[in-house]
Amino acid sequence: MKLVEHYNYYKRIYDEYMKFDCDSAVYYAGLCRKVAADAKMSSLGVSALLDQLYVVVISGETFESQRLMKMLPSDIVNMPDDIRVKYAITMLEYYMRVKMDFFWDKKSVVSLSGQEAWNKYSRYIPDNMWQKHYYESQLTKHDVLEKLLADINVTQMPSVKAAMLYVAIAQQYKKRGGNDYKEKCFRYLVLSAINDIMCANRESSSLLFIANSTFVCAGTERAFNYAMLCTENARNFKDQSRSFFIVNAHAKITRAYQKRLETNLMVCIVIVVLLVIAVVIVVLLMINVRKKRRMQASLLKQIEEVNVSLAASVEKEKQALEKYKHSNDLLRDEIAYHNENFISVYQLVTKYIADVQAFKKSLFNLITSGKIDKARKELKSQTVAESYLQNFFEHFDKAFLSSHPDFVERFNKLLRPECAIVPPASDRLTPELRIYALVSMGVTDSVSIADFLHYSPQTIYNYRLRVRHCACIPEKDFADTVARMYSDD
């Protein structure tokens, strides 16, 4: 039982080394053979020998392959089923790699030995195994594309199995031909190479197929990188069979690159000659230009002086025009403002005259009709006077705020924040604001303000006193500060 455990341990290591190190794989296959011989398990010994043979076959070691072939038992029929399958797969791989002259760009047909090998050993591989479809595509002319596509659909990615199937699918498309076969071939070869690289598989046919095919333009960095990776794989995997094809790939790429260099050299020579001619022409032109520049230097200096003088004159003229324009705009605005106030005042006076005439007519009608008491009552009523006064205040407020739109903001800055006065509307003033509006225009004594606003002097005094108590500056300076509100601008 312990020997069986050793055998299984060495077999697992062999399976891992199969991807990237053939020497180590062969070594551990040999250990498996030794353990099998010690345990006298002949079937396991044959299995280990087949593992060794498979590695040296895919590495291209022809003589070692033939030596190990002689050690295999010839009676495959009586072997266990699993050993028989492995035996058949190994022999098909041997005939495909050693006995056949078959490669991607080779146009030769499948050799007789490959067909004979398929006829001899394919019967031992179950029909549902992907290896049977794979070797059928490699060793015969049969079209097994549909089988391979079905196999790839159930294959884990990435895996060496997927890489092998993708290569076989690409070859099937190449055999079929057609308008789009090149695109499909290249696509499946790339997928095969991706799986090889992701699985760390050094035995990657797809990269070498790509490098030797017409899918990659020879002489490019891409082709060079493919060839170098194939070289590295062959060196690390000890793949002697690929060496000849890698040399061919390098030779083709090198020739194409050399031809490209020669073409580039010719282009460079032409460019250099053209550059030399251009330099000579430029030198001659520069000499001619220098002569002309010397002649033009004095003229340019004179022109610059004239330009400076003209620029100064133009700038002065421009400034004068801007000043005149600004003055005209101010004068136009001032005239419009005065016209508006003029019309507003005379409209107020006209309305007052009309209202007085209407009032007189009303009184006359009352007296004529004998309603003396009612006429006397109308004369004593203050309603009409109040109406006229409110109309007067409205016109005064609008006229003042149109010429002093920031008065309320300036005035409130002289008061404590909690005492700020808010007007009833954007074009109306409160009595306090109206009083100090007159102060800002130079009407500072309370009697004159009372006469103007038709208030009593005491009322004016009370308003002014109440506002001064809210000032954020000394109260004794408040009236003077408001009086200088616009004179200081």
Tell me the pLDDT tens digit for each residue of 259-273. Answer: 777 777 888 898 999
Query: Do 160 and 199 form a contact (C-beta atoms < 8 A)?
Result: yes
Between the CA of residue 241 and those of 59, 104, 205, what are the distances in Å? 6, 14, 11
Kindly give, in sequence order, each residue whose CB lies less than 8 Å from that of residue 454, ignoring residues fewer than 6 positions away.
389
Question: Cβ(4)–Cβ(26) under 8 Å?
Answer: no
Residue 331 in tokens: 């004068």
Longest dimension (CA), the chain: 159
Average pLDDT for 419-433: 90
pLDDT of residue 152: 92
What is d(CA 270, CA 262) in angstroms, rounded to the nearest whole number? 12
Instruction: Give residue-wise pLDDT tens across range 168-209.
Output: 898 888 888 777 777 888 888 888 888 877 776 656 666 656
Whether the bond between 158 and the residue before it is cis, its omega within 30 degrees of 0, is yes
- Give the per-residue pLDDT at 201: 66
Cα(122)–Cα(450) distance, rounded to whole angstroms?
129
User: In the predicted model, is pLDDT for residue 403 greater than 60?
Assistant: yes
Interatomic CA distance for residues 189 and 181, integer angstroms: 12
Q: Can you tell me which residue has the tokens 């070498």?
A: 208
Distance, CA of 148 to CA of 308 (rounded, Å): 88
pTM above 0.85, yes or no: no
Tell me which of 320 and 285 has the higher pLDDT: 285
Which residues does 162 contact at the CB level (< 8 Å), separation at least 6?
Answer: 152, 155, 156, 191, 192, 195
- Give the pLDDT mean for 50-65: 82
Mean pLDDT for 159-172 is 87
Residue 254, class by beta-carbon neighbours within 10 Å (0-12 exposed, 13-18 middle, 19+ buried)?
A: middle
What's the mean pLDDT when you consider all of the chain? 79
Share above pLDDT 70 across residues of the chain, in percent, rounded to a whole number: 75
Q: What is the 3-state secondary structure (H, E, C) of the chain?
A: CHHHHHHHHHHHHHHHHCCCCHHHHHHHHHHHHHHHHHCCCHHHHHHHHHHHHHHHHHHCCHHHHHHHHHHCCCCCCCCCHHHHHHHHHHHHHHHHHCCCCCCCCCCCCCCHHHHHHHHHHHHHCCCCCHHHHHHHHHHCCCCCHHHHHHHHHCCCCCCHHHHHHHHHHHHHHHHHCCCCHHHHHHHHHHHHHHHHHHCCCCCCHHHHHHHHCCCCCCCCHHHHHHHHHHHHHHHHHCCHHHHHHHHHHHHHHHHHHHHHHHHHHHHHHHHHHHHHHHHHHHHHHHHHHHHHHHHHHHHHHHHHHHHHHHHHHHHHHHHHHHHHHHHHHHHHHHHHHHHHHHHHHHHHHHHHHHHHHHHHHHHHHHHHCCCHHHHHHHHHCCHHHHHHHHHHHHHHHHHHHHHCCCHHHHHHCCECHHHCCCCCCCCCCCHHHHHHHHHHCCCCCHHHHHHHHCCCHHHHHHHHHHHHCCECCCHHHHHHHHHCCCCCC
Provide the pLDDT for residue 396: 85
User: What per-residue confidence (pLDDT) applies to 378?
Assistant: 67
Q: CA–CA separation, 385 vs 275, rounded Å?
A: 102
Other CB atoms within a 10 A radius of the CB of residue 101 amount to: 9
Q: How far is CA 478 from CA 413, 414, 451, in A?
A: 12, 8, 22
Contact 167, 188 (CB under 8 A): yes
pLDDT-based confidence at residue 234 (cuts at 50, 70, 90)? low
pLDDT at res. 479: 87
Q: Are 253 and 282 in contact (CB under 8 A)?
A: no
Question: Which is it for the CA torsion 109, 112, 115, 118, positive or negative?
Answer: negative
Q: 486, 395, 488, 394: which is closest to 440 by C-alpha? A: 486
Instruction: List, for residues 338-387, the tens digit of each pLDDT value.
Output: 546 545 655 556 666 666 666 677 767 778 887 787 777 666 665 666 77
Q: Are 129 and 92 in contact (CB under 8 A)?
A: no
Residue range 97-125: mean pLDDT, rounded: 64
Q: Which amino acid is at 358?
A: A
